[in-house]
Amino acid sequence: MGNKELYGYVKPMIAVACNLLLAYAAFMLCRIEFMVENWQCFADDMTVGLFFSIIRGGLLFDTSAILYTNIIYVVLALFPIHLKDTDIYAAVTKWVYVITNTLAVCAGLADSVVFQHTGKRMTYALLQSEAGGAGVGSLVLGELLSHWYLILVAIAMAFAMWKLYTAYRTKAYYRLVRYYIWQLALIICAAPLVVAGMKGSFNVSGQHLEIEDASRYVNKQIETSLVLNTPFTLYRSLGSAATQGGDAVDEARNGAEGR
């Protein structure tokens, strides 16, 4: 087996890695934009050491959110079936990647202006509790009118992800036995890494990464918003609400009505 053929078999994994790195860049740009947009909240205590601690912790939370966001894309790209080398399958996979990551980027950008009213990252409970009041949706729309440049940023980032997307098509399925052996090996190797990344730990018995864990990387509670990202807080709070049978959401809604 030559190097060209070997490269063809492992290209899906290489493409997935490249596209996930692209998602990391998008999430980090959203974090920088969040910091700049709300600089007055963080300027007094920001130091070089704190900044790098935020980035270090942010990468952990970004990993979890990116893998949750891209789980459908990863499965489509690594699924061991040679039909994924067809034009239609490849196009669907690309659109899934671009759309899901664009939605994640839009959530982060929108939250950078909602934060000025809430003082924390958006959560599912907050969305539910605010639904009967001013409404987060109307708040976002109103803020985006005065922060129109964020719409341009979102469009630019979506376009960049579309243009910089790495295709995974192998064109090597003419050796079907080898092809399926390699594709099965790739997805078997990727599965534990994806699960560990989602959890935030390689410890099988360890707990999942939680929103509260962001406090380990900062000095003040408000600074946890720089470590976190909005997709992560939405995913984790939604999961917690589902696990608790909606009690947390009802409690948040009652608290909001009491205010």
pLDDT for 4-22, tens place per residue? Answer: 767 777 888 999 999 999 9
pLDDT tens sequence across 229-243: 999 999 998 877 666
* Torsions phi, psi for 183 (to 5 deg): -65, -40
pLDDT tens sequence across 101-126: 999 999 999 999 989 888 899 888 77
pLDDT tens sequence across 71-80: 999 999 999 8
**pTM for the predicted model, two decimal places:** 0.87
- For the chain, how long is the longest CA-to-CA vector? 69
Q: Kindly tell me if the per-residue pLDDT of 198 is higher than 90.
A: yes
pLDDT tens sequence across 135-193: 666 766 777 778 899 999 999 999 999 999 998 766 655 677 888 888 899 999 999 99
For residues 17, 82, 161 and 154, what is the CA-based torsion angle, rounded to 10 degrees? -120
Q: Kindly tell me if the per-residue pLDDT of 259 is higher than 60.
A: no
What does the pLDDT read at residue 208? 85
What does the pLDDT read at residue 146? 83
